[in-house]
Structures are given as structure tokens and as C-alpha cells.
Amino acid sequence: MSDRTSRWALAEDGDGWWHAAPVHPAAGPGARMRVRDPAEAVRAAPPGTRWVWRSTAAVYPRLLAAGARVERCHDIEDAELLLLGHEGRSGEPRSAAAAWARLNNAPVPPDPPQRAIDPRAQDSLFDPRPTTPVPWTPCSPSTPTRRDGSTPPPTPTGCGCSPPPSPRPSSSPPR
């Protein structure tokens, strides 16, 4: 990432106004915007702006509906979700308020209730969804897994299982 890339924060207040401002304070207070539609802020920002916002799921459908697109963004909730997962803390609150509280050693608030999402909208890559665990039965290295009854050498995990044989290529030409 270049230091010349401008980063702007975009947030909605409780009254339906959107606030946009450069993240770097050197841009000065004159660059701040207060608009009714986030697409207005996106169109008014410098080309190539990297946006920082709370949730792409909350912002981007509005931008698309207005015909506005962004090249790059930082989604605080998705970034926090990935960082928590990396730390082995999946399931902890991932909201912007929770991330801010962790940064400031304050009590972490619970996540707000899930927002209603337009059913026609595209799924997010990182939306957490309940999963069904895949049953796994460990085998013993002495379990014969080859057709001839011999035991394969242990794999790096210590298990004697070998992957299923690859399908043989067909000798007949495709029709």
C-alpha cells in the first residue's frame, strides 16, 4: 500500500446522516463531509480512496443502488472477525465498538443484533454461519489401508491413512 493512498472513514449517525472524513488529520477539518447518501461522499472523495467503514454489508448495498463503487475498503467488523479467529477467540463480539474497547482495555460490549439484509444481496465472504461438524474417526497407524493388506508408512500427522487413489485417466478418447 502506498503512503499516497488517501483513506477516508465513512459512518452513519443515528439521524440518518453520513459523515466522511480523511483518516489522516493533516487533511484538515475542511475535508469533512456530512451527506444524506453515502454515494455522495464516495463520489466527492479523491480517486483511488481506500474507505474505512464499520460493515460492508451495511454500506455497500446502498452504494450499489446509487450506482457508486469503491476500489478498496477496510471493513472493521470483518477485520476484527479474522483477527479474533487467528487468536483463537472466534465467537467474541466483532463490532467496531468491541474492537475499540479492546484497543482501549475497556469492557467489551456485546454485538448489536444482526441487521436485516436484502435477500437479493450477494453473500459476504466472511459472514459467520453455523456449520455442522464433519464426523471424523481417527484411525490407528496399524490399520491396513492398502489393497494388498500392507500398512502404509505414517504420514506427517502420525496417521497411517493414505489418501484415496487418484482416478485413472481414461484410455478412450472423449466423444
The whole-angstrom separation of Cα 2 and Cα 6 is 9
- Quote the pTM value: 0.59
Provide the residue count of the chain.
Answer: 175
Give me the residue spans of the domains in the chain: 7-103
pLDDT in tens, 71-127: 999 999 999 999 999 999 988 999 888 988 998 999 999 988 776 555 555 555 555
How many beta carbons lie within 10 A of that of residue 5, not counting itself? Answer: 12
The whole-angstrom separation of Cα 126 and Cα 164 is 31
- Indicate if the pLDDT at residue 141 is higher than 50: no
C-alpha cell at 61: 448495498
pLDDT in tens, 24-47: 766 666 678 899 999 999 999 888
- The chain-wide mean pLDDT, for the chain, equals 75
The Cα diameter of the chain in Å comes to: 78
